[in-house]
């Protein structure tokens, strides 16, 4: 895979999808439906998915494409694939809280190699360059011309005073109990894959997830975090989180900056 054109395309598609999402977000009202798993879906999810899927299939017709909004793709099996969550954090979108993202990733042999996470309501765009280093692009975020980019890196954490980030919509007693095993300086909450990005920028040190997630929820954020020096591991074994699993469902996991002493 030649990563340069792939990253350029993923960036452009994320911006295009984000622009469509924001048009729906700005409307006085929009329809919210429930999927078979009772999770919400809106016209913004579907419109963003159509934009991204069309672009990726045109450019990479021979690469398997997995996307949350196309149930037929969930029956596919692959270890190398493109994977998309066109609107991660639909609950945050519906509540107009801004913590939603466009996620696009390329997974090779079970490892998220490159990814883009775009938070259109916050004007934040993160992606891995062709060389694997993660950057945050700033400025006007024009689709035709990339703006200034600066490399981002995880923190050098202090085990005696950790900054922890947790889910806004999925925080529970088990998560709180696990966080209680650490010496925590402060906590913040964030929706969608922004939690991975806060780790990647050094704004947080630790993100435990003791709840159900799918690979399209995490692959892009995982790639962004890896490219900034972070890690995502299985909650129980602390083995690196692998992708291409049957059913596309993740185990519980821990995302962190190396230097954090992980607890069992």
49 is in an annotated binding site: no
What's phi and psi for 64, nearest 5 deg? -60, 135
* Number of residues assigned to the chain: 264
Q: Is 211 annotated as a binding residue?
A: no
Q: Is 89 annotated as a binding residue?
A: yes
Distances from the Cα of 39 to the Cα of 31, 55, 84, 88, 89, angstroms:
14, 26, 17, 11, 10
Task: Spell out the alpha helix ranges (H) of the chain.
Answer: 3-26, 43-59, 90-94, 173-179, 194-200, 215-226
186 known member of a binding site: no
Task: Report which DSSP code applies to 241.
Answer: P
Query: Is 90 annotated as a binding-site member?
Result: yes
Q: Is 256 helix (H, G, I), strand (E, B) or coil?
A: strand
Known binding residues: 68, 85, 87-90, 217
- Binding-site annotation, residues for substrate: 68, 87-90, 217
Residues forming the annotated binding site for Mg(2+)? 68, 85, 87-88, 217
């Amino acid at each position: 895979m030649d990563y340069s054109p792939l990253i350029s395309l993923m960036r452009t598609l994320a911006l295009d999808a984000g622009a469509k999402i924001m048009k729906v977000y700005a409307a006085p009202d929009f329809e919210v439906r429930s999927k078979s798993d009772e999770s919400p879906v809106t016209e913004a999810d579907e419109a963003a998915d159509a934009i991204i899927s069309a672009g990726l299939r045109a450019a990479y017709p021979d690469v398997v494409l997995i996307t949350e909004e196309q149930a037929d793709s969930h029956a596919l099996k692959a270890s190398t694939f493109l994977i998309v969550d066109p609107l991660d954090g639909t609950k945050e979108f519906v509540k107009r809280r801004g913590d939603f993202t466009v996620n696009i990733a390329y997974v090779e042999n079970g490892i998220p190699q490159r990814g883009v996470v775009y938070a259109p309501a916050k004007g934040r765009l993160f992606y891995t360059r062709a060389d694997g280093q993660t950057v945050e692009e700033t400025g006007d975020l024009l689709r035709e011309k990339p703006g200034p980019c600066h490399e981002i890196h995880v923190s050098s954490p202090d085990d005696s005073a950790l900054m922890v980030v947790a889910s806004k919509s999925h925080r529970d007693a088990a998560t709180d109990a696990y966080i209680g095993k650490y010496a925590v300086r402060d906590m913040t909450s964030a929706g969608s894959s922004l939690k991975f990005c806060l780790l990647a920028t050094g704004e947080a040190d630790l993100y435990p997830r003791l709840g159900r997630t799918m690979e399209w929820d995490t692959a892009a954020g995982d790639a962004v975090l890896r490219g900034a020096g972070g890690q995502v591991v299985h909650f129980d074994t602390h083995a690196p989180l692998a992708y291409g699993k049957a059913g596309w469902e993740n185990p519980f996991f821990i995302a962190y900056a190396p230097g954090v002493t992980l607890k069992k």
